[in-house]
Structure 1
Amino acid sequence: MSWLHPDVEVRRSAIEGSGLFATRPIPAGTVVARLTGTLVSTAELLRLLDSATEYVDTIAIDDDQHLVLPPGQPIHFGNHSCDPSMWHVDASTLATRRDLAIGAELTVDYASQTTESAFRMDCRCGTATCRGVITGDDWRQVDFQGHAVPAVLRQSPA
């Protein structure tokens, strides 16, 4: 089971459906989530996705390793933002990127978690830096400042 900081709860989100929100102030650099699940290879992931009847939440952990998050976890409600309030400190740990006030939504840049070129998603984050469309190739144009999963960092320009 993935761990979520006790000062984070699921609420209705203006970005999409439900989201994760701070119930108390959370300082920058605070670990807010530790992701767990099943590690699978790319081939196993493709087979899983091909036979899935429900959404499968995954992140790229390494070049040929993907973490399949268990269904029903609150972390599934973490929405994307092009100006995220949390980022990766390692492959399976997320920390706040800046101080968060009560009621702030905890978001992550989905492009920091995938190397799959075919990934494409319309963005509705509404931030000043919104890219409009998120793709698996965004690592080529976005500076993740060292805060992405290892597979993405290895592909990023030095």
Structure 2
Amino acid sequence: MKTTVQAKPTAATRLHPAGGRRIQVRRSGVHGKGVFALQPLAAGERIIEYKGEVISWPEALRRHPHDPSDPNHTFYFHIDDRHVIDANVGGNAARWINHACDPNCQADEQDGRVFIEALRDIAPGEELFYDYGLVIDERYTPKLKKEYECRCGSPNCRRTMLAPKRR
């Protein structure tokens, strides 16, 4: 099974402004660990690059699952039909950014690299989220949607991290 996270292109912004650490990984009320703003982050600001080992999809499928007790959880980020970033190897804090159906960030893929950027101004203490928009080739059954359950709590929550199927 191939899982895809969609990236949305946006304008380039600076990655490392002066002023020290801007984000921190800590326990999340949504799921496990999360990433939180330590400083104000401006709309359109590039916050962090999603780092990890770039591997082929066949290699990703060979490595999957990282955790047999939670087989649908990975640190994979789809780049194109041939490549994926495995943040389980050489990953950084970006791998801990949780999904939300009404996110404050988005993923921007540029030339095989993925950057997380703010969609709106983000205050210190806010958790960062982007919409994973997972795409799975098989039919979305209630069981499959439950396996990818969303816990974001947004009023517009889809109840799943899966992207809506195109009709």
Q: 2:117 aligns to what?
A: 95
Q: Quick one: percent identity of the two aligned structures?
A: 30
Matches within 5 A, 1:101-140: 101-111=123-133, 114-117=134-137, 120-135=147-162, 137-138=163-164, 140=166
Pick one of 94, 98, 105 that aligns with 1:86.
105
TM-score (norm. length: structure 2): 0.69
Give the AA of the match of 2:85: L
What residue ranges of structure 1 are gaps of 5+ in the alignment? Answer: 142-158
In structure 1, what is the Cα distance between the partners aligned to 2:105 and 2:35?
A: 11
1:4, 1:34 within 8 Å by CA — same for their partners in 2?
A: no
**Runs (4+) of structure 1 moved beyond 6 Å?**
none
What amino acid maps onto 1:123 in structure 2? Answer: C
Return the alpha-carbon distance in structure 2 between the equivalents of residues 53 and 27 of structure 1. 35
Q: Structure 1 residues 102 and 45, CA, compared in 2 at 3 Å: closer, same or farther?
A: same
Q: Structure 1 or 2: larger helix share?
A: 1
Unmatched 5+ residue regions in structure 2? 1-14, 139-143
Question: How many angstroms does 1:108 deviate by?
Answer: 1.1
Q: Does 1:34 align with 2:49?
A: yes
The count of corresponding residues between Structure 1 and Structure 2 is 135
The residue type equivalent to 1:140 in the other structure is R
**Alignment-mate amino acid for residue 134 of structure 1:** M
Q: TM-score, normalised by structure 1?
A: 0.73
Once the two structures are TM-superposed, the CA of residue 11 in structure 1 deviates from its matched residue by: 2.3
Alignment RMSD, CA only?
Answer: 2.6
- The 1:133/1:53 distance shift into structure 2, 3 A limit, reads closer
